[in-house]
Structure 1
Amino acid sequence: MDVEAEIKEQLTGHFGVDEEQVRPEATLAELGMDSLAFMELLVILEQRAGVAVAEHLSDINPSTTLAETVSRLETVLAAAHGATRTAAGHGTGKAPTGAPAREARGGRLGGAP
């Protein structure tokens, strides 16, 4: 997901923010985003990304810039997708979480001789 493009699309389309106002240095307050509107934006982004993000962004406030918000969201989404891939065993070279690891000799479980 292109976080910046998605946020810009939501701000202009859903929230009616003038496109010229949507600049990286603009604060959420300058964009007319109070805490309720910001939570609504997060719900929309969570639905699109399939990842819960609101609980990780509690420190974002009206004086946070759009660039800072985008950066934080990208970090949270990347971490969530990385955790999902790791939990599924993708790209780690390890068995998925919860799967038994087999000992190299004899294929025994739990390291029993």
Structure 2
Amino acid sequence: MSTAEEISTLLVSNFGTDPLAIRPEVPLHQLRLDSLALEELRLLIEDRMGVDLDDVQLNSRDTWSRLVETIHGKAAA
């Protein structure tokens, strides 16, 4: 499963995100991810994908593609 697919699965199963709303240019706040939800997502990603995201700064204005690129970069390192 790709990084994007893993994160999409987490969003749909844990946050009730509409899969059709997940597109590269969509800001995370449009997926109903506020700062608390982003922190919860970060912990879920760390747990599921085994990556350390302590130094990653994401906010709700970041886009879906920025989230995926950031996580992919950490997973590949």
Q: TM-score of the superposition, structure 1-length normalised? A: 0.63
CA distance in 2, matches of 1:29, 1:38: 10
Q: CA deviation at 1:8?
A: 0.6
Counterpart in the other structure of 1:68: 66
Q: Which contiguous aligned blocks of 4+ residues in structure 1 show a shift greater than 2 angstroms?
A: none
Q: How many residues align?
A: 77
Number of the residue aligned with 2:25: 25
Q: Sequence identity, in percent? A: 35
**Structure 2, unpaired ranges of 5+:** none
Return the index of the structure with the highest Cα Rg: 1
Q: Which has the higher contact order (CA 8 A, sep 6+)?
A: 2
Give, as a single letter, the amino acid of the residue that structure 2 aligns with 1:38: L
Give per-residue Cα distances to partners, 1:13-68, cap 9 Å, x unaligned.
Answer: 11001111111111110000011111111111111122221x2212x211100001
Q: Give me the TM-score of the superposition, normalised by structure 2.
A: 0.90
